[in-house]
Structure 1
Amino acid sequence: MEIWVLFLVVVLLPACYAGVEARVKRLDRRVVRVEQKLDLILGHLGIRQEEPALEQVAALARDGRKIEAINAYRELTGAGLKEAKDAVERIGE
């Protein structure tokens, strides 16, 4: 009986986790694409949307303190480096 439990833990559990992880990554990529499309639509319509919590990030970006702005954005949102860099570039425009 213990061998079957060990088999489940060692072989099947990692396989299940890998499948879930791959699905989450696909969903993350889809969300990023949807956000990019929404940003394009808002830009086309001339609508600028700043999140209230990002005022400090916007101020840093306008002052040319891009690295500090990226770090502040990451702290506020939990975003990755690439996402934060892109967001700061959009904010600083």
Structure 2
Amino acid sequence: MDAWEAALLVIATIGSVAAAAGAWFQERRSSAAQLAAVQRKLDLVMAHLGIAAPEEQEILEHVRNGRTIEAVRVYRKQTGASLLEAKQAVDRLSTPHRPGL
């Protein structure tokens, strides 16, 4: 095998590994987006039914008292969510459900 064939083999191997890694990362992003969508829907159903999970009681208390930042901090601590996800969840909890929207 000469040097050109070896170089092409190395490049093809690197390309294959990069493609597999890219597909794996894309699948992870897709799964995370699907999970976030399901969580949002579940939050809406629970809010519509007036059901609050036990760990939400502390968060809801902070929201009712106007301490949004503290509610976001507690939500992040309990769920491990990102700052943006926690803020969106607290906003959903603090906004009354309006049918038809």
Q: State TM-score, norm by structure 2.
A: 0.65
Deviations 1:69-90 (A, max 9, x none): 1011001100112221121122
2:75 is the counterpart of 1:73: yes
Deviations 1:18-41, CA, capped at 9 Å, x for gaps: 321110100111122223333444
Q: 1:39 to 1:56 in 2, by over 3 A?
A: closer
Unaligned residue ranges in structure 1 (runs of 5+): 1-5
Q: Quick one: distance in 2 between partners of 1:58 and 1:39?
A: 13
Aligned to 2:26: 22
- Percent sequence identity over aligned pairs: 29
Q: Which amino acid aligns with 1:76?
A: Q
Structure 2: unaligned runs, 5 residues or longer: 1-9, 96-101
State the match for 2:41 in structure 1.
37
Larger CA Rg, structure 1 vs 2: 2
For the aligned residues, what is the CA RMSD?
A: 2.8
Aligned-pair CA distance for 1:11: 5.5
Higher relative contact order (CA 8 A, sep 6+): 2
How many residue pairs end up in the alignment?
Answer: 90
Q: Secondary structure at the match of 1:36?
A: helix
User: Match of 2:52?
Assistant: 50
- CA deviations over 1:45-92 (Å, ceiling 9, x no partner): x30222212222111111111111101100110011222112112223
